[in-house]
Amino acid sequence: MLEKLFKLKEHGTNVRTEMLAGLTTFLTMAYIIAVNPGILSETGMPFDAVFVATCIAAAFGSAVMGLWANYPVALAPGMGLNAFFTFGVVFGMGQSWEVALGCVFWSGIIFTLLSAFKVREWIINAIPSSLKTGISVGIGLFLAIIGLQNAGVIVDNPATLVGLGDASSVSVILTFAGFVLITALYHRGVIGSVIIGMAVVTIIGAFFGLVEFNGVMKMPSGLGATFLKLDIMGALEAGLYAVIFAFLFVDLFDTSGTLVAVAQKGDLMDKDGKLPRLGKALMADSSASVAGSLLGTSTTTSYIESGAGIAVGGRTGLTAVTTAVLFLVALFFSPVAQMIPSFATSAALIFVAVLMISTITNVAWDDLTESAPVVITAVMMPLTYSIAEGIAIGFLTYVAIKLLSGKAKEVNVSVYVIAALALLKYIFL
């Protein structure tokens, strides 16, 4: 049944590898089940309700992505989008969290319509190969800075923006130890190298008192406090069209960048360099956003941490389905999932960053009109702390350089449209 559903042999994989990949993906993104409720609860939303909504939304989105689109990509409420929900819409604009959920709902509906009419598919397939590489490299750098920051390896510095943290701290040492161990095991072809590395440093961290034990099981409760509590009409009556567009725009580019990067690293592109079954993948993503708003959480999107699962061999939707099941299990074992320390997940993120950045060898460095936008796209993602900003600036740079270099005819009309939308974003948002 699994072979027929996921075409395992065709993708050169098996059930054991796929399930191991799903577990790996889950472990690298399990932090969201604690972080997301922590951010959204500041708006007055009950923590327990958001926790349950986060797990169910992630399970739903990942399952649809796996069963329908057959991609090893997991979904969950997006980081950055939850911060915009809380600090931008609720605190910044004085709107209620119910109205903010209404904005998420409408952005998901528009997203679904764009997917149904293949507008999103057209946008992603229109991305030049050079920018696809820039997106992959940029996301790798973005993951690296997230991992290094979460582990305390790099910290903010008033004079230089960033600086080295306490290199002698146990957490920093364990982060690098985990990264080195994962890399060495992966080089030796050890299956489950990422999981093994994370487990080893977690156990070591426990001896130093860096792993907090809060029990094993806890029954889920409280979803009713946010389920169907969104204010759909209130979002329109408040005239929050710019907010709806912002959710839509960020999710569009975040999802596009993630799918391109993950598919490129997993060798899931077809012979023309396009994503097969892309329409189904996009519909899975957009439907997850709608479902998440109904449950009571901010925008649900594809996770770049899926690259960790691909790194250990995940190639089909069985990886995503495995992750979905684990999110449901997490409903009852939340203390265990939350026990995984940041230095363990950071080690995995830095390792995945290396794999993503390795695609830079595909850049045509002898053509500056292609390579320069790649560098700008890649560098802007970590420096703006946003995948969306990096992609938008990358498109604008690509078009501007092509125009001024006398190569305007080389640019697809769709790329001009995307660049124009990016320009409008900076003018009006």
> Whole-prediction pTM value?
0.71
**What does the pLDDT average to over 358-365?**
85
Q: Which amino acid is at 62?
A: S
pLDDT score, position 169: 93
**pLDDT tens digits, one per residue of 218-257:** 787 777 889 988 988 888 876 677 678 778 877 776 777 7
Residue 216 burial by Cβ neighbours in a 10 Å radius (0-12, 13-18, 19+): exposed
CA-based nearest residue to 148, from 428, 394, 353, 328: 353
Q: Which amino acid is at 252?
A: L
pLDDT score, position 123: 67
**What does the pLDDT average to over 357-377?**
90
Q: Which residues contact 428 (CB under 8 A, 6 or more apart)?
A: 242
Distances from the Cα of 57 to the Cα of 37, 220, 227, 296, 325, angstroms: 13, 14, 12, 9, 12
pLDDT score, position 140: 83
Helix (H) or strand (E) holding 177: helix 170-187
Asked whether residue 423 carries a pLDDT value surpassing 70, the answer given is yes
Angle between helices 317-330 and 15-29 (to 10 degrees): 50
Whether the CB-CB separation of 303 and 142 falls below 8 Å is answered with: no
Whether the CB-CB separation of 195 and 264 falls below 8 Å is answered with: no
d(CA 27, CA 305): 9
As for how many domains the chain has, the answer is 1
* Higher pLDDT among residues 99 and 114, named by residue: 99
**pLDDT tens digits, one per residue of 400-418:** 999 999 999 888 887 888 8
Structural domain including 130 reads: 2-356+363-428
Asked whether residue 366 carries a pLDDT value surpassing 70, the answer given is yes
Classify residue 216 by its DSSP letter.
Answer: S
**pLDDT tens digits, one per residue of 40-72:** 988 999 888 899 999 999 999 999 999 988 889
Q: How many CB atoms lie within 10 A of CB 268?
A: 20
